[in-house]
C-alpha cells in the first residue's frame, strides 16, 4: 500500500502511535545514522560481518552476540584473528573456535567475506566500499538469488541486516519486528500486511513515509522497546549503542 492510499485520519493515528514508541528511544537515531554510514564497530567491516554471522543463529543480541563480537575485536586488535574481508575469507575454523564454537557462524562469515572481497571493485577500494557497493546493488525481492543470499546460513533477516550496515535504509522482518509493527498497525486501524516477510518490509517503508521516521529506526525501535528483566533495552543499552 502506498502512503497515498492511507487516509489523513490513518496518517494521524500512525504518527501518534509511532511517535509514542520513538519517544522511548532517545539517541537511537544517532546509532542508525552510524549504521547507515557503515561505521558500526568502529567502522570495521570484518566485525560487522562477524556480528551478522553470530546474530544469524538466533541468540540474544545484547547478552550473547555483542559480547562474542567484542571478544573477537580484542583478538583482532592484537593481530590474532582476521581484520579484513580478504583475510576473513581465508578463515580457519580451528583458529577461531575457542572464541565462538558455532561452526555455522564462521562458515557464513567466511562465505560472505569471500563474495564481498572478490567483487569488481575499483583500485584501492576499501572493505567499506565493498560492503556498500554490494548493499546498494542488492535488492530485497531477489535476495534468494543474490550471492550473499545464497551463502549457507544467510536468511532474509541476515541479508537485510547486512544491507542496513551497508548503507541501505531498510528493515528486517524478524519475529520481534513483526509483532511490534503488527501491534502498531492494529492500534492505528490501518490495513497493512505484516504476515509475509517481503510485505512486512514494504509495510515498514510505508509507515516510515507516513510518520517521517526511517525504516531502519522503526526496525531498531522494535528491538529496543523490549524489556530485559524490569528494564527496557533502550535504557539498559543506551550507552552500549554508542560503541557498537
The verdict on 230 and 115 lying in the same domain is no
Of residues 11 and 73, more confidence is placed in: 73
Q: Residues in the chain, how many? A: 244
Residue 120, pLDDT above cutoff 80: no
CB 54 within 8 A of CB 225: no
Question: Mind listing the pLDDT tens digit for each residue in 122-174?
Answer: 778 899 999 999 999 999 999 999 999 999 999 999 999 999 999 999 999 99
Residue 2, pLDDT above cutoff 90: no
The verdict on 93 and 59 lying in the same domain is yes
Domain boundary among 165, 194, 228: 165
Question: Mind listing the pLDDT tens digit for each residue in 71-84?
Answer: 999 999 999 999 99
Boundaries of domain holding 12? 3-34+171-241
Residue 41, pLDDT above cutoff 80: yes
What distance, in Å, lies between the first and last C-alpha atoms of the chain?
A: 34
CB 115 within 8 A of CB 85: no
How many distinct structural domains can be found in the chain?
2
Grid cell for residue 131: 560492503
- Of 110, 85, 112, the closest CA to residue 100 belongs to 110
The verdict on 156 and 189 lying in the same domain is no
The CATH code of the domain that includes 93 is: 1.10.340
Q: Name, in order, each residue with C-beta under 8 angstroms of 234's C-beta and a sequence gap of 6 or more.
A: 24, 25, 26, 27, 28, 224, 225
- pTM for this one? 0.95
Amino acid at each position: 500500500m502506498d502512503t497515498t492510499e492511507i487516509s489523513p485520519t490513518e496518517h494521524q493515528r500512525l504518527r501518534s502511535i509511532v511517535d509514542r514508541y520513538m519517544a522511548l528511544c532517545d539517541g537511537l537515531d544517532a546509532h542508525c545514522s552510524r549504521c547507515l554510514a557503515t561505521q558500526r564497530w568502529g567502522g570495521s567491516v570484518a566485525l560487522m560481518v562477524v556480528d551478522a554471522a553470530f546474530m544469524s543463529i538466533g541468540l540474544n543480541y545484547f547478552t550473547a552476540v555483542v559480547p562474542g563480537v567484542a571478544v573477537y575485536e580484542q583478538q583482532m586488535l592484537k593481530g590474532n584473528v582476521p581484520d579484513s574481508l580478504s583475510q576473513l575469507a581465508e578463515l580457519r575454523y580451528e583458529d577461531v573456535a575457542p572464541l565462538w564454537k558455532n561452526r555455522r557462524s564462521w562458515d557464513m562469515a567466511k562465505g560472505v567475506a569471500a563474495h564481498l572481497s572478490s567483487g569488481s571493485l575499483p583500485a584501492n577500494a576499501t572493505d567499506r566500499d565493498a560492503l556498500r557497493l554490494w548493499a546498494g546493488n542488492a535488492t530485497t525481492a531477489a535476495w534468494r538469488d543474490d550471492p550473499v543470499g545464497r551463502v549457507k546460513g544467510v536468511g532474509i533477516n541476515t541479508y537485510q541486516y547486512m544491507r542496513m550496515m551497508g548503507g541501505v535504509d531498510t528493515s528486517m522482518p524478524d519475529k520481534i519486528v513483526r509483532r511490534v509493527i503488527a501491534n502498531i498497525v492494529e492500534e492505528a486501524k490501518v490495513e497493512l500486511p505484516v504476515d509475509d516477510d517481503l510485505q512486512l518490509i514494504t509495510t515498514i517503508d510505508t509507515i516510515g513515509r507516513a510518520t517521517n521516521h526511517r525504516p531502519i529506526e522503526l526496525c531498531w525501535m522494535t528491538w529496543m522497546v523490549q524489556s530485559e528483566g524490569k528494564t527496557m533495552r533502550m535504557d539498559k543499552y543506551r550507552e552500549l549503542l554508542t560503541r557498537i
